[in-house]
Amino acid sequence: LTTKKSYIPALDGLRGIAILFVVLYHNFGYIKQTQFGWLGVDLFFVLSGFLITSILLQTVHTKGYLKNFYMRRVLRIFPLYFLCLFIFLIVFRAFGWYSSQLQYYHENQWWLWSYLQNWLYAFTLKDGSAMLVHLWSLGVEEQFYLLWPIIILLVRKPRILFYIMTALLLLVIAARCILWLYHFQDFNYTLVYTFTRIDGICIGSMIALLLNFKPDFIEKNLAIIVITLAGLNFLFYFLNENASNSYPYFAFIGFTTFCGMFGLLLHELVKHRNSKLSKVFSFKPLIFIGRISYGFYIYHWPIYMMTHTQLSEYCINNFNWSKGISGFIASVISTLLALLVAVISYYSFENYFLRLKSRFRKSVIA
């Protein structure tokens, strides 16, 4: 995030909520109340689509538009991502700290180095090979942002870009429906394909575009939008309860409706920066977690996979605690350890590259 004048603290707070959702889902998935925490990834997508599209719209007429965008993106995303791959695919192997989980990634590592890992996971992910599976979402984002800046450069008009993004969103829904129908028992196809999981990026981008050419559209039509989203949620949840497969709701339109609700929340925070809701999301601990959320996301799952079982067994054997209590304590310790590593990483590694971004033209939003 850049200039103080345009900085919206609540958006960092929203990032904080997103990463907490994901971490709770992954590290405490055995608790029923965390079962929808995976939607934190879609909240990340909505935020990303909004911020990136806002940047592109505000800089598209500037000199070096594409170079500056891609370089700033590279400096933010690549260093930590490739450090993660270097540690797990090269260092761990060199020192013999290698598990069967990492063997799968080593054999298919070019997919990860090229940011195509989501396609790999869609077809070949094996049981017990989950240590780096969470990186699929980064592949989806980077693939999308290779083309979106170019499309904005060629079109430039927010209204036309909005129609393009609307058409893309409809195609995403259609693709997911077709895949679900042809792979009735294999919902994984719709989970990680780039063209079936970019609802959030599309909706975030659409909000950024609307604010450029029709800034009051959402507020004027808020009741209709809310009723439509709520109605679709109720309808498809009802169908989901009565279908033989437990996933038709999300396979059809569930991702879109949830992303739509996240989009409304984001719009509220952007349009009413001094509202009570914005103050809630501007809670300083949330903002802090939001700022380190990228590292927290990268580290939390591998650390959990490497430590949880051992910590849980240690608690059982040394304190005679029950399996449930030991597992919970192990989850807490794994999560706090990942948070600590993320903080250290942010200040000792990521910050260096973030400062380099100043060499390239800054936008006024993010």
pLDDT in tens, 94-120: 888 777 778 889 889 999 999 999 998
CA distance linking residue 340 with residue 169, whole number of Å: 38
pLDDT at 244: 36
Residues 6 or more apart whose Cβ sits within 8 Å of residue 286: 12, 13, 16, 17
Instruction: Quote the CA–CA distance of 201 and 88 in Å, as a whole number.
Output: 29
Q: Return the percentage of the chain with pLDDT > 90, whole number.
A: 68
- What sign does the CA torsion over 192, 194, 196, 199 have? positive
pLDDT reported for residue 177? 83
Q: What are the strands, taking DSSP E only, across 137-212?
A: none
Give how far Cα 309 sits from Cα of 26, 32, 77, 326, Å.
14, 20, 30, 10
The tens digit of pLDDT for each residue in 118-130 reads 998 877 766 656 8
What string of pLDDT tens digits covers the 366 residues of the chain?
A: 444 557 899 999 999 999 999 999 999 999 988 888 999 999 999 999 999 999 999 999 999 999 999 999 999 999 999 999 999 999 998 888 777 778 889 889 999 999 999 998 877 766 656 899 999 999 999 999 999 999 999 999 999 999 999 999 999 999 888 887 776 556 666 788 899 899 999 999 999 999 999 888 888 888 888 888 878 777 766 666 544 344 566 667 888 988 999 999 999 999 999 999 999 999 999 999 999 999 999 999 999 999 999 999 999 999 999 999 999 999 999 999 999 999 999 999 999 999 999 888 654 443
Give this prediction's pTM.
0.92
CA distances from 7 to 36, 51, 200, 287, 361 (A): 29, 11, 22, 12, 16
Sequence-ordered list of residues with C-beta below 8 angstroms from that of 246, at least 6 positions apart, any chain: 240
Let me know the angle formed at the C-alpha of 93 by 103 and 188, rounded to the nearest 5 degrees: 30
User: What's the first-to-final CA gap in the chain, in angstroms?
Assistant: 4
Q: Which two tokens stand for residue 255?
A: 């991702």
